[in-house]
Amino acid sequence: MPRHFAGLHGAATLPTNHFQLVGRIISDLVDFHATGVVHGPAGTGKTYAVEAALEALRDGATGTGIATVNLAFPSRPTMRLVADELLRALTGSKAPSSRSRFYLTAALTDLLTAAPRLVVVDEAQRLTGDCIELLRHLHDHPDTRFALLYVGGDGCWEVLSREPMLRSRIFRRLPFQAIKRDQVPALMRGYHPIYTSAADKLLWEIDDAYGHGTPARLGRLHPHRRHDLRRGRPRADRRRSDRQRVHPARRRSAWLTLAATP
């Protein structure tokens, strides 16, 4: 599984509906060499879910064992940068700067013809129309065989859907959302040992004050506050289950501090 934000120790992967759907969507894209989009609010777990699905693909856990390329660009990259980075990701080396973008595009076409692949572009809201058009051109070439997945946060769908040539080619689209409130207690109990024996009421209180159904926020809670939330300092003679329980008297100040964190 991918690494958790801030290296959170002991946290599990939440099997949210969206997390599971990403695996299915990627499998469809790979089967049909098609284009897809996963987008939604920050911290809802898009990158984490895609990375987990890519790991499974690379390990052959899904039976495909397909090569994957995962890219993210700075804001408003040039077409040259996109071509350069894709080439570098596919070959392991950078093309000489003397080569024109048209040379790079031809080289990319050859490389993307060789074997089926999945190309993922994260933070896709940063792309310009020209870059989207370059990727579409490569994808539409009759000889290339690759699936293309755009992943992005706020504004991603607006940027991509503005390009009619791309929009008409999107085979799968998954808008991510925060975890639904009624699913929060069960998911949180499985997320980290400190929540295992907490009551629904407390878990909703945590989510309302701070988590807002967002895995990234729930993860951020622990590195800063986990000692505040337990039954005081761990003692050798205290049972492990007691040590890990959330301390009701301490929780309110902890949530309030966190609720003020952006």
Ligand X SMILES: Nc1ncnc2c1ncn2[C@@H]1O[C@H](COP(=O)(O)OP(=O)(O)OP(=O)(O)O)[C@@H](O)[C@H]1O
Q: Out of ligand X, Mg ion, none, which partner does residue 219 contact, by CB within 5 to 8 A per kind?
A: ligand X
Residue found under tokens 């967002």: 214
The answer to whether 27 contacts ligand X (rule: CB under 6 A) is: no
CA 259 to CA 256: how far, in whole Å?
5
Structure tokens at 68: 């994957």
Residue from the set 25, 26, 30, 46 that interacts with ligand X by CB under 6 A:
46
Q: Are 251 and 226 in contact (CB under 8 A)?
A: no
CA 129 to CA 96: how far, in whole Å?
25
Q: Out of ligand X, Mg ion, none, which partner does residue 43 contact, by CB within 5 to 8 A per kind?
A: ligand X
The answer to whether 215 contacts ligand X (rule: CB under 6 A) is: yes
Burial class (CB in 10 A: 0-12, 13-18, 19+), 9: exposed
The answer to whether 77 contacts ligand X (rule: CB under 6 A) is: no
Q: Out of ligand X, Mg ion, none, which partner does residue 44 contact, by CB within 5 to 8 A per kind?
A: ligand X
**Minimum gap (Å) between residue 71 Cβ and ligand X:** 14
CB closest to Mg ion, residue no: 47
Structure tokens at 112: 């993307």
Q: Out of ligand X, Mg ion, none, which partner does residue 195 contact, by CB within 5 to 8 A per kind?
A: none
CA 179 to CA 16: how far, in whole Å?
7
**Minimum gap (Å) between residue 172 Cβ and Mg ion:** 18
Give the interface with ligand X as residue ranges (CB under 6 A): 4-5, 8, 13-14, 16, 19, 42-48, 153, 215-216, 219
